[in-house]
Structure 1
């Protein structure tokens, strides 16, 4: 999907200059100036973290080649419109993230366009068609890969922020996340302190950094407790996968006494699987989630979970991309907000 976005921005009018019938690129300006492409991008965006001599050299070359900046970057006061792009917006998790982004953009007087592309080419093409009718000043991607495509967007002068990226992001791309390793560890340690030794984990998508960090925290806590057996079943953060994974775990000859589901939605799927088997939570099975979604406190019993500040993460992503549109430097490209274990009534010592 992001590769299509890159191609779209490459075709935008009013960028660069034509020499001998072709458009001069930022990469060519960078090569002639003897600097990196991101440095030219920072000059184009008016960023202050560029040495005065370097800025003057790049500006002179841009002027010499007649390079035309996008008009949207020139608005007084920064951005007028931001795009927020999800793979899927059908989950309570996405709604919480949206709340934070909307709060920050509304406070800044900036418009917000929300899109869900569902990882389908047709949806992506429709989004691009809609995007052609507007001029967005920045993009926030949620649960997307940072790869060459999103890096290229930044090189093209379009500020990009990624929330919970898939894979390691470039230092040029700000990313927002939470302390997932610490959260995974605290959830598992809570079950260990409660006396559980057969602790299963329902993992999230393997390509996401947040999933891998929660898994690593689980393993670290088991290792420190001297528990050698790992009980790991793959999920996808959604309700059905939590239900299916719990069915598999409870069908084992020796089922776990506790489950750490790495999202609240999967934890609630685990609730249903336990209920259908006539098991009581927490008497027969302890369950811990991750997210602290609003419905978690209203579950029966209320769910013990790791709170990640989803609203705050969304707001920080929006404030970060707005700072970039104003040319302000981003001192720390990777920010992780603190998680917190919230103990409720879904965990107890094993019988």
Structure 2
């Protein structure tokens, strides 16, 4: 595979050490020692037989590339995300691809939207297919990521997310972006603003909610918070149905992702609610898609391309033996005003 900075959709089907360990009911490290005939492998004859039987049953073969990586590099990095079609993740991919091309690295892309994420994630590093891994996931839990990946591999950087106890991440200023959106929506006599957020156990949602609530408090406005277990259009639509079916609707809405914002506009259309005449809307993240909606959607532009680029730099620093760190992209969020948040009569 050429290391030309182009991305490759990555799928794995071969059995891994973890598959063997699950069947044999032992730790993956013990499987590795037994398979590689490590004289220090401490296991009873029964345990050793159980491991070898599992190896034979699964047809597992140790990957020589993984051993080679102790002294050599592949010039490849992995990028794992939940949905390549999402405009925000597409921008991250662009930033990663551009920087990798400049530095002579190739990319393996993994999309875990359809499940089987554990196998995809662990295979990348376990088989030595990549030198390191970038994880841009707003769906997998902190517990899963720490247990299955972050506690076992050092060359990993979280993108657009921070996890407690994990030393390496690159994010944007989500708090400021949410606050700026509220300040914009607070114009024109607004009294109540609703916020639509993703899962509260994900720190991205926490940061955006903190910025939202801080600005609401500062401006002495009323707030309504709707939390959904996903970040997509259907989540935004359901939140919209909930908010717009109330006897008293909010004056304005902050959607914490552009996909949620699109879903909210759909709900307004279904219920016959006029945007922005009755309710004004701003969504986090920008995309050309926003220009083609009716009404066009006001958004908060975030430097996601830069975030992808800086994530590559941090990962390569770690691969080279440097220390990890938490980085926030310096470029501030920027409001893109379109029809959905204009004052009635200003269109």
- TM-score, normalising length from structure 2? 0.74
CA deviations over 1:206-256 (Å, ceiling 9, x no partner): 1211111111111111111222x3211123220011111111111111011
> Could you tell me which of 226, 244, 259 is aligned with 1:233?
226
> CA, structure 1 residues 209+225, in 2 after alignment: closer, same or farther (shift >3 Å)?
same
1:1-351 matched pairs, under 5 angstroms = 18=38, 20-22=40-42, 71-75=68-72, 80-118=75-113, 120=115, 122-125=116-119, 128=122, 134-143=128-137, 144=140, 145=142, 147-154=146-153, 158-165=154-161, 167-170=163-166, 173-227=167-221, 229-235=222-228, 236-330=230-324, 332-337=325-330, 338-349=332-343
Gaps of 5+ in 1: 24-68
Question: Matched residue of 1:82: which SS?
Answer: strand
Work out the number of aligned pairs and report it: 294
Question: Matched residue of 1:153: which SS?
Answer: coil
Q: CA deviation at 1:341?
A: 2.1
* Equivalent position of 1:57 in the other structure: none
8 Å contact from structure 1 (residues 287, 303) kept in 2: yes
> CA, structure 1 residues 9+20, in 2 after alignment: closer, same or farther (shift >3 Å)?
closer
**Greater Cα offset, 332-341 or 274-283:** 332-341
8 Å contact from structure 2 (residues 132, 319) kept in 1: yes
* Equivalent position of 2:53 in the other structure: none
8 Å contact from structure 2 (residues 78, 124) kept in 1: no
* Bigger relative CO (Cα 8 Å, ≥ 6 apart): 1
**Greater Cα offset, 183-192 or 335-344:** 335-344
> CA, structure 1 residues 202+110, in 2 after alignment: closer, same or farther (shift >3 Å)?
same
> CA, structure 1 residues 182+15, in 2 after alignment: closer, same or farther (shift >3 Å)?
farther
8 Å contact from structure 1 (residues 164, 208) kept in 2: no
> CA, structure 1 residues 15+294, in 2 after alignment: closer, same or farther (shift >3 Å)?
farther
8 Å contact from structure 1 (residues 167, 207) kept in 2: no
Q: CA deviation at 1:137?
A: 0.7
Q: CA deviation at 1:283?
A: 1.7
Gaps of 5+ in 2: 1-16, 22-26, 44-65
8 Å contact from structure 1 (residues 72, 79) kept in 2: yes
CA–CA distance in structure 2, aligned partners of residues 92 and 9 of structure 1: 39
8 Å contact from structure 2 (residues 194, 253) kept in 1: yes
8 Å contact from structure 1 (residues 169, 175) kept in 2: no
Supply the RMSD in Å over aligned alpha carbons: 3.3
